[in-house]
Copies of this chain bind each other. A is one copy, B any other.
Amino acid sequence: MKKGGGAGYEARERTAPKAESLVLEPRLERIEEVVRKRTRSLTVVLDRLEDSFNMAAVLRTCEAMGLQEVHVIEHPEAKFDPHSKVTQGCDKWLDVRIHRDFAACREYLHSRGFEIQVSAMREGAASLFELKFDRRLAFVFGNERHGVSDEVLSGADGVFWIPMRGFSQSLNVSVAVAATVTRAIAWRLERASEDGDLTPEERAELTERFQLLSVKQRKRIYRGQRTP
């Protein structure tokens, strides 16, 4: 089995066509457009969510609105397991990073220059509608039943809330993320071009990765269509 394995690998490597040549033209254009609009300077942090539908709805919203990164602080008793019926496979286009706790997540985001804003109803919380989105921002959303922890509240750089006007004093977490992310994207669209903010290097890296993912997808589809 071992004999010839190396050569075979090398041969495959030499003859393997580039992913780009295997992807259909409309798909290449779609990838180019998505990459051009992508942002790494807005991100969402999910703090110990429990519900797989909520996890999934958040991922789909973030992907659809052009965010590349989502951060997850896993619930000690509920694995991060977004429901695939709701994600519709969108998670493969995202960088979802799992952190063991908020301290680790905070250190990582701060090292990359992110300001951490926590969603909570607190005295002095800033209105979402008054926030400026002109910098690296990470928005933290807490557990469905318990909200964000004291550790998160005290370790964040700011607290914001979505101004509510009714008797209901809270929103479903996927609804809160949707309100926040669409607000941020709309704010930026009004003040800058339609483009995202990846560097040329980040664009090249992501384009290649998306092309590879598209090839894998096509292969899967072809397998599914093969006549037995």
Query: Hey, which bits of chain A sit against chain B, CB under 8 A?
Result: 30, 34, 37-38, 53, 57, 60-61, 63-66, 86, 88, 90, 93, 128-129, 162-172, 174-176, 178-179, 182-183, 185-186, 189-190, 196
Contact = CB atoms under 8 A, between A and B. Distances in A.
A60 B165 contact: no
A interface SS class:
helix
Given A171-B178, A174-B174, A182-B179, A166 B63 contact: yes
Contacts of A64: 164-166, 168-171
Contacts of A176: 178
Nearest to A174: B175
Please state the number of chain copies in the assembly: 2
B166 A93 contact: yes
A97 to B, nearest CB: 18
A185 B65 CA distance: 20
A167 B34 contact: yes
A167 B53 contact: no
Nearest to A168: B64
A170 B38 CA distance: 17
Contact of A185 (B38, B88, B165, B178): B165
B165 A66 contact: yes
Given A129-B189, A186-B183, A63 B178 contact: no
Contacts of A66: 165-166
Contacts of A168: 60, 63-64, 88, 90
A167 B186 CA distance: 18
B60 A171 contact: yes
A164 B65 CA distance: 5
Nearest to A66: B165
A175 B88 contact: no
A27 B93 CA distance: 48
A60 B168 CA distance: 7
